[in-house]
Amino acid sequence: MKGRYFWDMDPYKEYRERREKTPVYWDEQRRLWAVYSYRTCQQVLSHPATLIPPVADGNLGGPALAVRHRLVRISNPPAHDLAREMALRMFRGRRPVDVGPLLSRLLPSPASGATMEWVSRVGKVLPAMHILAGFGFSPDEMDLILGELPVVLKIMAPVADDETVRTMEKAFGTIYPVVDRRVAMQFPGLTKETQEYAVSNLIGLIIQSHDATKGLLSLALLHLLRREDPGSLPLRDMDFFLSFVTEVLRYDSPVHNTRRVLSGDMHFDGVTVPTGATVLVVVAAGNRDPTVFERPEEFDRHRANNLSMLTFGHGTHGCIAGMYCTLLAAETMNYLFHTYRKVEIVESQPEYEPLVNVLMVKEMHVRLT
């Protein structure tokens, strides 16, 4: 596939060989340990001795730095406990939102027979838009926040230069007061500290929903059109789309690996990994472990334990919005195939981002009639 990760190679062959021969592997070149079996991946993700690697702040300051230090996704104890509590409170406080009206704003009319670029028009916009609608942000507020989103997303990465600092501080200086007012309106009675954590983690939910769902929306559509008779899809119900999307998450995970740093020695399959070591957790390999998933190389939406996949992590740093993102992708597919007579991907092989930790479609044109 053009532009596919791992230099156009299928990583699952390497994952299988590592899982079978050296499931706990020392990578001398990258100076880290990598784990490939489901059991070991789960053990690393859930163990209290494993920490999120620190992210360099550079000269970052203001609301941007404050948000970064309070985000549940990249925080460690003791701050992580309050961050997770407030993230969960924010997530549970959103109201249900019908995806249909949002998609009708993003997609062309069924009568137009138009072709549109799926990733930029839907993948990068819908997840954040849906979260914002769930908290009652006005259209103007949504447009403001979505306009700053490409910069806001950089909060998860190390800050390398002063220009990045300036753009991030400007973006967070713009959106923070808007989110702060919304949280104060919907969650009255918070203390100053809990209000700050709530605002930071509502911004975090916007980022997390974007990161978790952007790739899935493209992969789900690709697999549906490759594996199913397109003529049958308008007859399918939500149960079908939900089970199909869940299997896409297991079989062709948008997230291939994540990292942890050990705060204490850990023992895996007779191997001791020392304190301070970086561990690459290859969740995509764990998702195809035959000791957990029967016939793991086969795409089977009926498999009873597909929800056991590790795509959204595990333990206290597991993705809070995992099931939400799965449902949003399923609802989007359901809307798409019940609204349009014909859905086609123009490219024979879409272009992928040249990344090794995620499977992300870079560009994909879809014809809707």
Residue 112 has pLDDT above 50, yes or no: yes
Taking residues 304-326, what's their average pLDDT? 95
For residue 351, name the pLDDT band (cuts at 50, 70, 90): confident
Residue 137 resides in a domain: yes
Q: Is 345 part of a structural domain of the chain?
A: no
Give the structural domain span for 121.
17-338
Q: What is the 3-state secondary structure (H, E, C) of the chain?
A: CCCCCCCCCCHHHHHHHHHHHCCEEEECCCCEEEECCHHHHHHHHHCCCEECCCCCCCCCCHHHHHHHHHCHHHCCCCHHHHHHHHHHHHHHHCCCCCHHHHHHHHCCCCCCCCEEEHHHHHHCCHHHHHHHHHCCCCHHHHHHHHHHHHHHHHHHCCCCCHHHHHHHHHHHHHHHHHHHHHHHHHCCCCCHHHHHHHHHHHHHHHHHHHHHHHHHHHHHHHHHHHHCCHHHHHHCCHHHHHHHHHHHHHHCCCECCEEEEECCCEEECCEEECCCCEEEECHHHHCCCCCCCCCCCCCCCCCCCHHHCCCCCCHHHCCCCHHHHHHHHHHHHHHHHHHCCCEEECCCCCEECCCCCECCEEECEEEEC
* Residue 3: predicted pLDDT: 43
Mean pLDDT of the chain: 94
In a domain, 354, yes or no: no
pLDDT in tens, 254-302: 999 999 999 999 999 899 999 999 999 999 999 999 999 999 999 999 9
Query: What total of structural domains would you count in the chain?
Result: 1
Confidence of residue 5 (pLDDT cuts 50, 70, 90): very low
* 291 found inside a domain: yes
Q: What is the CATH number of the domain that holds 293?
A: 1.10.630.10
Classify residue 208: in a domain, yes or no.
Answer: yes
